[in-house]
Structure 1
Amino acid sequence: MQAVFRTKSLHGYAVEFSPYFAHRLACAASQYFGIAGSGAVLFLEITGDGQLVPLQCFPWSQGLYDVTWSEFNERVAVTGSADGSLQVWDVNANSQMPVNSMKEHTKEVAGVDWSKDRRTSLVLSASWDTTVKLWDITRNSSLVTFHDHNNIVYSAIWSPRIPGCFASTSGDTTLRIWDIRKPDSSTLVIHGHPTEILTCDWSKYDKNLIVTGASDCVVRGFDLRNPAMPVFELRGHEYAIRRLKCSPFNGNVLATCSYDFSVRIWDTSLQSSAVETVEHHTEFVCGLDFNLHIPGQMVDCSWDETVKVYLPASNYANR
């Protein structure tokens, strides 16, 4: 069964399932393909009969490019905006305004990610101003700014298994690994692709494995202990890979979405073509996630103004 929600003149940039509720998700979206206009964060729920319905919709004056759920408060999520700010939202709020808004970046915030340590309220922001910032959402100013990249930073993603560690990807063609206790420079630089690296994710099973997707249409996996050459390489997308996610249920499975309008599911142990290609969008697919509570269930969002929740036909992610 597939559940579809139409975002009505808003183009989806990112979507994420709640870490607390199997039936809840958030989508960051923008008017006019994110080039101009306003945006909104949409909180959606999957009903008992399989419908995808709105729970809340909070508008913002600028486009929203990414969203991340709190790991310690089931009501809270953070978005990143075209005006260089981050917004903290409470799903249950009566007001249309965010609980807090923090602005230090001088250009678009392309990526946000909440620390996987449930004892903290730490959030990373990746920006077109070439920096990554570390925030405590209870404060109005950032804790640290990371400066090593010399081009747009598209993503900054916490390691789920190494405390205080995160990875960032950039238009400078590098993947960088950071330790927040040593903010002066990245601890490892990987020249993973000859083109812009748009996305990355960590394996949920191997703390040394990180996977990247780039505008060269290639997925590569790197072992941090020996990163000179990728441990696997996956080809099949026809245009840039916008986002990828490693399965929380199978260490060999990951999914990617692309400007070629498709989502692809891969088994890294096979290192061959995708085990399944999902082609149910008519525009760029920019957001993607696995449900942490329902094995195999996925969600994606697209510039075609739809959010879709589904079980891929192969159900490969549940094997």
Structure 2
Amino acid sequence: MLEYRTQGFNGYAVKYSPFFDSRIAVATSQHYGLVGNGRLYILGLTPKGIVAEKWFDTQDSLFDLAWSETHENQCLVAAGDGSIKLFDIGLDEFPVQSWKEHNREVEAVHWNLVAKDTFCSSSWDGTIKVWSPHRPTSLQTLPTHSCTYSTSFSPHSPTLLSAVSSDSHLRIFDLRTPSSASNHLVLTIPLHAAKAAPPNPLKLDNFNPNAFNPNTPSGPFPPSEALTHDWNKYRSNVVAVAGVDKLIRTFDLRGPAGPMDILGAHDYAVRRIAWSPHLSDTLLSASYDMTCRVWTDGSAKAVPQAQDGMGQARELGRMGVHTEFVCGVDWCLFGAEGWAASTGWDERVCVWDVREFMQP
């Protein structure tokens, strides 16, 4: 495991570069994001450990970041003053572009992985905005009417956009629809709904009874704030969501009556989740309980049933090196599957091999 200390700054988000396996970016804030400045770290992974290639200071806390999909040296950050800034590693100190239309803290930014010419942001002000890096103002504003902690484009479609909010709902927007039709909103899923009933085995040739765990919580649950979500990289209709109630839920957008599976996850709120870019059934989570955990949703045929008889969807292992809230986690896109990075309020960035923490 490699470690780097972000002295005086608490980590909120970490992302691997989509161009280099040896470069990561970390968004941090002073005083746990309550007050003070922010700092964007650009870190290099070298044979001698993790070194800071560059950093940029901002006047307010940073809560999220996203690498540009078109320029290897550019990185977006989401700031507590409602602004979004684009930094270029080849330039000093100041951002190459800055936008400020949100009225409250910006909690998330995400680059369009398919079209690559737009990015999105979400804020406490109850809106999602779509931007072009070449335009001074936003292209579209999508209202959610509640504090929106996480938003992202689908990795399978350039026009599908998702978000989770404090009102315990997952929203799907399709930018191809007329804006007059509910502001592009095409699907709203209550996260606290009861678990979806298993499919009828008589109607499915490939029905697997172990994929539906009768021993997991089934709900319905009281509404709670959703803090994070992620699209599955291989199954275009599958989204995982997590938040304050400590549970991770997976949804199939083709049948959104309820979650496919509910993982009885962490001891405290789940702050970040990320599906593996290598394995369709595996995801990572980071939590306020100071751990990162790796899970399988049980969809892979090669995953054996657990010895305790609790089905295939389960925790595979956990990393407990952090000593404060873990707020960010990300997978490396390159090389052997399993490398990940995490950051948290303990002023540490950890780069580690998930396989070393997985249970037999």
TM interval, short-chain normalised: over 0.9
CA contact (8 A) 1:235 1:272 kept: no
**Map of 1:299-318 to 2, 5 A cutoff?**
299-314=341-356
Matched, 1:252 2:250: no
Which deviations, in whole Å up to 9, do the C-alpha atoms of 1:138-173 show, x marking residues without a partner? 1110000001x2211001111111221111010011
**Map of 1:172-183 to 2, 5 A cutoff?**
172-182=167-177, 183=179
Matched, 1:128 2:117: no
State the superposition RMSD in angstroms: 1.5
Per-residue deviation, 1:315 = 6.6
CA contact (8 A) 1:232 1:271 kept: no
Q: Unaligned stretches of 5+ in structure 2?
A: 193-222, 299-310
Distance in 2, matches of 1:199 and 1:280, equals 22
Which deviations, in whole Å up to 9, do the C-alpha atoms of 1:126-149 show, x marking residues without a partner? 1000000000011110000001x2
For 1:108, the aligned partner's letter is E
Distance in 2, matches of 1:18 and 1:120, equals 15
Per-residue deviation, 1:214 = 1.4
Distance in 1, matches of 2:343 and 2:333, equals 18
1:221 to 250, 253, 257: 250
1:236 to 231, 251, 265: 265
Residue matched to 1:90: 88
1:298 to 321, 328, 340: 340
Distance in 2, matches of 1:281 and 1:114, equals 28
Per-residue deviation, 1:316 = 5.6
**Map of 1:72-111 to 2, 5 A cutoff?**
72-93=70-91, 95-111=92-108
Which deviations, in whole Å up to 9, do the C-alpha atoms of 1:35-84 show, x marking residues without a partner? 000001100010034x1110110000000000000111111110000000
Aligned residues: 313
2:328 to 284, 287, 303: 287
Which deviations, in whole Å up to 9, do the C-alpha atoms of 1:258-317 show, x marking residues without a partner? 011110100110555411011011110000100000311000000000011010244769
Distance in 2, matches of 1:161 and 1:185, equals 18
Distance in 2, matches of 1:205 and 1:86, equals 30
Distance in 2, matches of 1:185 and 1:67, equals 25
SS of alignment partner, residue 187 of structure 1: strand
SS of alignment partner, residue 32 of structure 2: helix
Matched, 1:44 2:43: yes
Per-residue deviation, 1:11 = 0.4
SS of alignment partner, residue 32 of structure 1: helix
Residue matched to 1:65: 63
Distance in 2, matches of 1:244 and 1:298, equals 12
Distance in 2, matches of 1:124 and 1:232, equals 28
Residue matched to 1:112: 109
CA contact (8 A) 1:296 1:316 kept: no
Residue matched to 1:144: 140
Residue matched to 2:231: 202
Distance in 1, matches of 2:356 and 2:313, equals 16
TM-score by length of 1: 0.95
CA contact (8 A) 1:296 1:315 kept: no
Residue matched to 2:303: none
Q: Percent identity?
A: 37
Which deviations, in whole Å up to 9, do the C-alpha atoms of 1:70-121 show, x marking residues without a partner? 111111110000000000010111x20100110000000000000002x533
Q: Unaligned stretches of 5+ in structure 1?
A: none
Bigger CA radius of gyration: 2
For 1:181, the aligned partner's letter is R
CA contact (8 A) 1:31 1:38 kept: yes
TM-score by length of 2: 0.84
CA contact (8 A) 1:70 1:121 kept: no
For 2:352, the aligned partner's letter is Y
Distance in 1, matches of 2:333 and 2:90, equals 22
Which deviations, in whole Å up to 9, do the C-alpha atoms of 1:242-268 show, x marking residues without a partner? 000000100010010001111010011
Distance in 2, matches of 1:252 and 1:272, equals 9
SS of alignment partner, residue 95 of structure 2: coil
Indicate how the Cα distance of structure 1 residues 304 and 315 shifts in structure 2: closer, same or farther if over 3 A, else same: closer
Distance in 2, matches of 1:7 and 1:303, equals 10
